[in-house]
Chains A and B, each alone.
Chain A
């Protein structure tokens, strides 16, 4: 089988080190003037694609991001890491607030078909909304096999051997290409973009599109009623004996009485 054409999704999210603050009107969290970076699971997806290309198993890496103009910074980072070209599907303001995995997966599926890609690598979830839906939905729309939560991926003559992280441990599966893979934390350790590659990334092609270019209707299917802080942790209690502890746990309904 010839080298693969790979599509990688790169979401721009609030940086993992930022302490997220809920807006007083409970419509969402503060994003203005807040440090953003590439979703860490997408960085892992990028790294996996680049390693495939370095081994000559992939021929081209296309990176895509859906969101406001600032997503282009994230795409430039992806290009500096080793992507070949970028597609920015611009979605702004209110529309972006209502953008759901359902919409993004339709856009990704359309791009995957247009670009004739063999492999779609996505992060298993984004660290902002933690949906963990986009990869699965995209596979469903394309009717391609999916290999989610990958911690090892090997290309094997038109198929992928994927080691998956599942609740009970690890699972080995084989999927036929084309396929959708979503990355788990232990798949690889992403590289830093080097300074020379940052300079070269400026010259790599970045195309801007709109959801309507892919005939995707992004009108919201769900409404966010309220975004709230998790409850503040309350002070604990000291107990005198094991019996008392068991009693308290029983009273709280935490163990079967």
Chain B
């Protein structure tokens, strides 16, 4: 009795912390049965990785999960929670400590994003994009840019956006047309970028611009600060998911930016954009893993309480087999994502295709898992009172962005069919 009371008191305290408590969400991320099960995300991790994962899971279940439905329905970009997450080191996970990053590996980052996205996939996906941008400054920026930007990006006092896609150039990014012409010590940028995560609400944009010849070699990466003359934004897009982060077009009308804001060298932009995306693909695939993990947990809990035809759903073999397939595909996806993360950490030459495989496979399979979990919930799954639909909506876009899954197939087939280039 006393044990139960203190447990209730303790849970009440944890709930007080988050202020908002949605009645149907009476389960906990990382619930008792996950530990030691075949879908336990800690399997195969080192003690230190488990510690890192535990902090991320605790953060997800206390600070994010109780709010995710509200953030979605009221389209709230939760800056306070982003900064709180950054306070623990989630703002610049795989940047060097020298300039303010956390100095962890891509594998660690994947573990973190997977854990956080169980609390809110959309919000974590933005954190992962922010991380990608900070890494691009850390890896390709000069010391001046690093010193100016990384410390405030790592704390998420300042936020970053990645601007590659244009209204007419999505998959065909190498032929983008937004132009930057050098005039004295400034670039004058003209053009527009589409579907920009965080657009207008962020403080800096990493913009891929044409500064030279046609094709990928004429592209440069330029940092455009919020408030630059000639910079404006489109309307906030209405989306199926990813509602806790704004998406807008970013418009450049004779936008004036100092030449010192060039990231890397002139003509390096496409390479920088693609190098950033390798990590971005592992990150976004990790977010899909978290969504699928949570959805599968919810489906499993549902079949244990829902009765039809006089017995619990868990006793129907169709659903047993369905859950087994979902669990297997989740674990296979996780293995693929972690292998790609290892490829980046070890700088394997096959990293581009492995990251593409991870992104294509994990985002597709995990979306299916979320969708099947919704199906198992029946009519309830279609209600916004149940979290499973949000994981499904939020993870759908992972098949489209950071390079569509069709482009992932292009990259993988190219690796198979073309003569290998040794560089």
In the complex, which residues of chain B have a beta carbon less than 8 angstroms from the beta carbon of A35? 30, 32, 34-35
Interface residues of A in 79-132 (CB under 8 A from B): 80, 125, 127-130
Contact of A32 with B by CB under 8 A: yes
Instruction: Specify which chain A residues have a CB less than 8 angstroms from the CB of B35 in the assembled complex.
Output: 18, 33-35
CB distance B36 to A193 under 8 Å? no
Q: CB of B203 within 8 A of chain A?
A: no
Contact string, A217-240, partner B, CB cutoff 8 A, digits 1/0?
000000000000010000000000
Fill in one digit per residue for B8-44: 1 if any A CB lies within 8 Å of its CB, else 0.
Answer: 0111011001000000000010111011100000000
Query: Within the assembled complex, what's the spacing in Å between the Cα atoms of A17 and B29?
Result: 9
Tell me whether A196 and B32 are in contact (CB under 8 A).
no
| Smallest Cβ-Cβ distance to A201: which chain B residue | B51
Q: Quick check: which of B85-93, B117-125, B373-381 contacts chain A, the rest being far away?
A: B85-93
Are A130 and B93 also in contact (CB < 8 A) when A34-B36, A192-B55 are? no
B97 near A185: Cβ-Cβ < 8 Å: no
Which residues of chain A are near B11, meaning CB under 8 Å?
16-17
Q: B36–A73 contact, CB under 8 A? A: no
Closest B-chain residue to A19, C-beta based? B32
B305 CB within 8 Å of chain A: no
Q: A16-B10, A127-B7, A130-B2 are in contact. Are A193 and B51 (CB under 8 A)?
A: yes
- Give CA–CA (A178, B102) in the complex, Å: 39
B93 touches A195 (CB 8 A): yes
CB contact between B3 and one of A76, A80, A130 (< 8 Å): that residue: A130
Q: What residues of chain A lie closer than 8 Å to B90, measured between beta carbons?
A: 195
In the complex, chain B residues whose CB is within 8 Å of the CB of A127: 3, 6-7, 10
Which one, A125, A185, A195, contacts B89 given CB within 8 A?
Answer: A195
B4 CB to nearest chain A CB (Å)? 7
**Is A192 within 8 A of B4, CB to CB?**
no
Residue in chain B with minimal CB distance to A198:
B51
Contact A230 B87, beta carbon cutoff 8 Å: no
Given contacts A34-B35, A35-B30, contact A185 B52 (CB under 8 A): no
Q: Please name the residue on chain A nearest to B51 by beta carbon.
A: A198
What is the CA–CA distance of A157 and B50 in the complex, to the nearest angstrom?
Answer: 42
- Asked if B104 is an interface residue, CB under 8 A from chain A, the answer is yes
Interface assignment of A189: CB less than 8 Å from any CB of chain B = yes
Residues 176-208 of A, flagged 1 when their CB comes within 8 A of B and 0 if not, give: 000000000100010011111011011000000
CA distance A80 to B54 in the complex (A): 12
Give the size category of B's interface with A. 35 or more
Say yes or no: B55 contacts A198, CB within 8 Å.
Answer: yes
Q: How far is the CB of A149 from chain B (nearest CB, A)?
A: 12
Quote the shortest CB–CB distance from A176 to chain B (angstroms): 30
* CB pair A76 B51 closer than 8 Å: yes
How many angstroms from the CA of A32 to the CA of B14 in the assembled complex?
25
A144–chain B nearest beta-carbon distance, Å: 25
A38 CB to closest chain B CB, in angstroms?
Answer: 10
Q: Which residues of B from 90 to 132 have beta carbons under 8 Å from A? A: 90, 93, 97, 102-104
Q: Is B48 interfacial (CB-CB < 8 Å)?
A: yes
Residues in B with CB closer than 8 Å to A37 are 54
B contacts with A: majority SS: helix
Interface string of B52-68 (1 = CB under 8 A from A): 10110011010000000
How long is the Cα–Cα vector from A34 to B30 in the complex, in angstroms?
A: 11
A138: Cβ under 8 A from any B Cβ: no
Chain A interfacial residues counted at CB < 8 A = 33
Q: Is the CB of A40 within 8 A of B10?
A: yes
Q: Are B87 and A195 in contact (CB under 8 A)?
A: no
The smallest beta-carbon distance between A139 and chain B, in angstroms, is: 21
CA separation between A80 and B35, bound complex, in Å? 23
CA distance A15 to B4 in the complex (A): 13
Task: Name the A residues within 8 Å of B36 (CB-CB).
Answer: 32-34
Any chain A CB within 8 A of the CB of B417? Answer: no
Are B31 and A77 in contact, with the CB atoms below 8 A? no
Which one of A18, A189, A202 has the highest number of Cβ atoms from chain B below 10 Å of its Cβ? A18
Asked whether any CB of chain A lies closer than 8 Å to the CB of B213, the reply is no
Whole-angstrom distance between the alpha carbons of A194 and B34 in the complex? Answer: 24
B1 at the interface (CB under 8 A from A): yes
A52 to B51, alpha carbons, bound, how many Å?
Answer: 25
Given known A33-B35, A34-B36, contact A195–B6 (CB-CB < 8 A): no
Partner of B58 from A32, A192, A201, A230 at Cβ < 8 Å: A192
User: Are A18 and B32 in contact, with the CB atoms below 8 A?
Assistant: yes
Known: A127-B6, A195-B104. A76 touches B89 (CB 8 A): no
* Most chain B beta-carbon contacts within 10 A, residue among A15, A37, A76: A15
- Please measure, in the bound complex, the distance between the C-alpha atom of A42 and the C-alpha atom of B54, giving whole angstroms: 17
Q: Is the CB of A185 within 8 A of B9?
A: yes
How far apart sit A16 and B15, CA to CA, in the bound complex (Å)?
13
Query: Is the CB–CB distance between A194 and B87 below 8 Å?
Result: yes
Asked if A73 meets B47 with Cβ closer than 8 Å, knowing A17-B32, A130-B2, A195-B104, the reply is yes
What are 15 A-B residue pairs whose CB atoms fall within 8 Å in the complex? A16-B7, A16-B10, A16-B11, A17-B11, A17-B61, A19-B31, A37-B54, A130-B6, A185-B13, A189-B17, A193-B55, A194-B55, A194-B88, A198-B52, A198-B55
Given contacts A76-B51, A192-B88, A199-B104, 14 further A-B contacts (CB under 8 A): A16-B11, A18-B35, A19-B32, A35-B32, A35-B35, A40-B10, A73-B47, A127-B10, A194-B89, A195-B55, A195-B90, A195-B102, A198-B55, A199-B48
**Which B residues fall within an 8 A CB radius of A?**
1-4, 6-7, 9-11, 13-14, 17, 28, 30-32, 34-36, 47-48, 50-52, 54-55, 58-59, 61, 87-90, 93, 97, 102-104
